[in-house]
Amino acid sequence: MHEYPITVQIVEIASETARKNNGRVRRIDLVVGEDSGFIGESIQMYFDVIAEGTLCEGAQLFIEGVKPQLRCDACGKLFERKRFSFQCPFCGGDGSPTEIGKEFYVKSVELEVEDQ
């Protein structure tokens, strides 16, 4: 349920950007890591409802998912963790968590600007 307030903020920020540029939002690109604490499908579901009546109404929301990655303590390579394993597929060493997969940000907002 915490996707609702964050989706409200996304719509508010994008609408404010459109307002400042005398336009409407056509597209929003969002990056959501699997370990960010947010579920992309829920944000998508709320978006159309929240965008109604705003400068985001009719805009497309594209969500880029980011899988978490570990960094091998031995060889330093990044890899996706397999279920129930932290073992590096390259050298067999142990992997440690990284910040990859915890991302959550608006990558871009595409506007349709009205001619003045």
CATH placement of domain 3-67+101-113: 3.30.2320.50
If 0-12 CB within 10 Å is exposed, 13-18 middle and 19+ buried, where does residue 22 land? exposed
More confident residue, 96 or 116: 96
Which band of pLDDT confidence, cut at 50, 70 and 90, is reported for residue 114?
A: confident
- Enumerate the domain spans of the chain: 3-67+101-113
Q: Return the axis-axis angle of helices 40-51 and 3-20, rounded to nearest 10°.
A: 50
Which band of pLDDT confidence, cut at 50, 70 and 90, is reported for residue 5?
A: very high
Q: What are 23-63's pLDDT values in tens digits?
A: 999 999 999 999 999 999 999 999 999 999 999 999 999 99
